[in-house]
Each structure stands twice: as structure tokens, then as C-alpha cells.
Amino acid sequence: MDNDVSAGNTSTSTLGHLALGLTLLAFGIGHTGAVGGVTAADAVSLALYVGGIALFVAGLLEFRAGNGFTGTAFAGLGAFWFTWGAGADARVSDHAAGLFLLLWALFALTLTLGAAGRGLLGQGTYGLLFVALLLLGIGQFADSGFLTKAGGWLAALAGLAAWYGATAALAHWPTTVPRRAAGRGATATG
């Protein structure tokens, strides 16, 4: 996921990525309508406590350990999930909800750009989150069920990526694809 989540490291970064992954999975699946009777509103408790509070605390611990990027990602996303979960019962217009999601999409874009050089899995997670929030926000403005479902699927994929990265760190699974030489008989020149 990033430099903090390498195979064998069981730091707060791993716990934070698990919290992010589980919350994104519940949030995303709820928006897809793939499971009968399950909506995004059913993810409110998970978003509030696991995605909000636990992820925010993991972010603070990452800041304390000197990991500025991971601290920013976890504390910021913890604030997103807490705000989303706490405001779930509030009556807001579709445009206000869309604006909320679009503003947080900008935060996810910042994380995507900031994750450059930290591994494709981490950058992919934040990139998928960015596109998911973008589609969900536009879907709110346009009252489009199709965009909402597409955003939900991308959020679920981002959740799977975050979950895999954390699980890989605990289970000593690979998080990168080994590079192969350009072709048969290729050698490095130097």
C-alpha cells in the first residue's frame, strides 16, 4: 500500500487500511444494490465508528510515528466517514450531498497524487476512491441511478484493494508484481 505496509509490518497503518477497506466495501456495496435490502444507509454505523473514529485515531498515531502521508490519509478519511455517518439522517438536498461528495473527491485526488512512488496498490486504492466519489457526487446532482451504482462498484473495488494490502501485510503475501525482462534472452546493460 505504501512504505508503511510492507509484508510483515503489523503497524497502525495495517489496521488503518483494514478499517478503510471494510468501510469502503460496505459503503460501495450499499450503493450498488447488489445485495437485496442493503443500502448505503446500512453502512452508517460502520462508517461512523470504524471508518470515522478508528481511522481518525490511526491517522493520529501515524502522525505521531512521523508518517505524514499515511497520517493525512487516515485522519482525513476518518473525518470524511465520521461526517458522512453523523449526517446520514440529516435532510439535505441532492445538490448539497453531491457537493459534499465532490469536495471529498478532491481530497481523494490529492491522496492519489501524493501516493505516487508509494506503490501501485496504494495509489490505485486512492485513485479508485477518487473516481467513485466523483461518480457518486455527479450521480447526486444528476439523480442518476446508473452513476450511483458505478460509483458504488468502484468504491467496493477500492475497499477490496485496501483490504488486500492490509491482509497481504499480515499474511506475508506479495503487494507488487515482479518485473520481468523485456523478452527472451534480454539482459541488462550498464
Residue scoring higher pLDDT (49 or 12): 49
Instruction: Categorize the per-residue pLDDT at 1 as very low, low, confident or very high, splitting at 50, 70 and 90.
Output: very low
| Domains identified in the chain and CATH numbers | 12-171 (1.25.40.600)
Instruction: Categorize the per-residue pLDDT at 37 as very low, low, confident or very high, splitting at 50, 70 and 90.
Output: confident
Residue 172 has pLDDT above 90, yes or no: no
Residue 53 φ/ψ, nearest 5 degrees = -70, -50
User: What confidence score (pLDDT) does residue 184 get?
Assistant: 59
Instruction: Categorize the per-residue pLDDT at 117 as very low, low, confident or very high, splitting at 50, 70 and 90.
Output: confident
Can you give the pTM of this predicted structure?
Answer: 0.84
What is the rounded distance in angstroms from the CA atom of residue 56 to the CA atom of residue 116? 22
Residues in Cβ contact with 167 at an 8 Å cutoff, skipping those fewer than 6 apart:
18, 173
User: What confidence score (pLDDT) does residue 9 get?
Assistant: 36
Residues in Cβ contact with 128 at an 8 Å cutoff, skipping those fewer than 6 apart:
154, 155, 157, 158, 161
DSSP letters along 114-134, please? HTTTS-HHHHHHHHHHHHHHH
Residues in Cβ contact with 148 at an 8 Å cutoff, skipping those fewer than 6 apart:
31, 135, 136, 139, 140
Percent pLDDT > 90 in the chain is 63
User: Are 162 and 1 a contacting pair, CB within 8 Å?
Assistant: yes
